[in-house]
Amino acid sequence: MFFALQAFAVLQILTCIKGESNAYKQQENNQWFKDGVNLLRNNLQVQKIKGKAHGVVLFLGDGMSLSTVTAARILDGQLKGKTGEENILSWEYFKHVGLSKTYNTDSQVPDSAGTATAFMSGVKSRKGVINMNENVVRGDCKSSENNELMSLIMMAEQAGLSTGIVTTTRLTHATPSSGYAQSANRDWEYEAKDDCKDIASQLIDFPYGNGLEVALGGGRKNFMLNTQKDPEENLYGKRKSRDLIKEWTNKSTNSVSYKYIWNDTMLRALDPSKVDHLLGLFNRDHLNYEYYRKNDTGGEPSLTEMVAFALKVLQKNSKGYILLVEGGRIDHAHHANRAFHALHEAIELSKAVEQANNMTDPRNTLLIVTSDHSHTFTLGGYQSRGTPIFGFANGIGLDGKKFTSLGYHSGPGAAENKPRRQPTIEDLKNPDFKWPSLIPVSSAKHGGEDVGIYTRGVQAHMIRGVVEQNYIFHVMDYALCLSESKMEICKTQGVTVVDGSRKRRSRD
């Protein structure tokens, strides 16, 4: 009897083991399981690319929160005929990822000026100031003296590298201006207080190296006199003095050209191999949303087109280059609770990143994709997989009405949807529909949570973990072995450093 019980127990154990074995075999044959194993194998082969970068491209999705990335990923997939959730945006293929803490020194939830100062100068600062340390008082011209900060683009120009800025906003807006300007107030785009220089004039008078090689975006009005009529609108410039566009073209000499263009036809007619310095102002104000861009009367290039052209110009320099690219209208759409435009702008940014990825070699180029700050944009509701991203969540609210899977914490959508009404199918198909929000304000507020950093190429492995936003500057600086402090680190790491001229060029 005893031996019979033992035999029975052994049989039970063997049966259990066999059952577990069969279950595991079935598990191994599951496609999700196989995908996980393949990804693990691929990640084990990822190599750290060390050395000195020839080029750095920083992509900035203004206001591109993690929820924006997720929703844009789904929309992009659905536009390709998939359910959407399994889709991957271009930068999500990058193997090195971190999180950025975005607060300003005086603000828990930041603005785009203080954040741009952080990732372009390496120093965290106050809200509303461009390349100024935290000792400056916003709007106080005198307080800016001796509190200026140098941007990575300024340093690059001093070292003889080529530099460029591409944006869908005004070139004088917070993020793009952080490349070339120093201002105690981000609002001084065409007119400044006291003896301070306005931001637009600083682009033209840029005193480092030989100036920007490429500057493409919007904002013609800030470069034109208030007596000059815009070429495509019955409106005039903003400036009381200095025709900055004329001053730009007047820089041309027999050996160096300074070209100005204002529409996509003019851009496509240019040969990048023959371009020395290019200023492109494709709208009086910000560029159109990508969805409406093709209907622009004057003709605007896409962000992807501008990036491709800029890279062709900058890559000619054997000393290297840096390019700052901003998908700036993601933020504007979120401020207006226009989720349709925010997600389409993010998809266009993904296309621009893919273009740069295809045009550059990870063995000599660092690509970084990040955001300056978050937005209080949400995706939720337990909806079934494959539900249209511009659709309804499963179930109904306590008031018996359906609710959308996308929404906002604050913004103009609150006023337009209160008392709470159930949006119609026609509403959800309208690109300009203001999605429901909780708190009624004229412009949605920024979010304060961390944002993603996605990197590929030389020294990309230096981005990992949760970091302060200003650290992004130091990774780019190190990849280029640019500033004196990074040159010393490069030398200790055995990276070959070619010390270029760092003397400031004066145009006085």
- From residue 214, how far is each of 146, 211, 218, 337 by CA, in Å? 29, 9, 13, 32
Do 146 and 135 contact (CB within 8 A), yes or no?
Answer: no
The owner of tokens 């004066």 is 506
Which residue, among 239, 233, 238, 113, has the nearest Cα to 176 in the 3D structure?
113
Structure tokens at 270: 């240019």
d(CA 386, CA 438): 26
Which residue, among 391, 439, 444, 387, has the nearest Cα to 418 in the 3D structure?
439
Angle at the Cα of 36 from the Cα atoms of 32 and 42, rounded to 5 degrees: 140
Number of C-beta neighbours around residue 51 at 10 A: 16
Phi and psi angles of residue 218, each rounded to the nearest 5 degrees, phi first: -115, -170
Do 428 and 82 contact (CB within 8 A), yes or no?
Answer: no
The H or E element spanning position 13 is helix 2-28
d(CA 204, CA 425): 49
The owner of tokens 């203001």 is 434
Q: Give the start-end residues of each E strand in 364-508.
A: 365-370, 374-375, 377-379, 406-411, 437-440, 446-447, 451-457, 465-468
Which residue, among 471, 474, 477, has the nearest Cα to 450 in the 3D structure?
471
3-state secondary structure of 447: strand
d(CA 504, CA 165): 20
Active site residue 405: no
- Out of 100, 112, 162, 201, which one is annotated catalytic? 112
Cα–chain-centroid distance for residue 5?
Answer: 70
Using the 8-state DSSP alphabet, how is residue 206 labeled?
-
For residue 266, the one-letter residue type is M
Phi and psi angles of residue 356, each rounded to the nearest 5 degrees, phi first: -65, -40
d(CA 283, CA 328): 14
d(CA 475, CA 172): 25
d(CA 60, CA 295): 25
Phi and psi angles of residue 124, each rounded to the nearest 5 degrees, phi first: -70, 145
Q: Which residues are catalytic?
A: 112
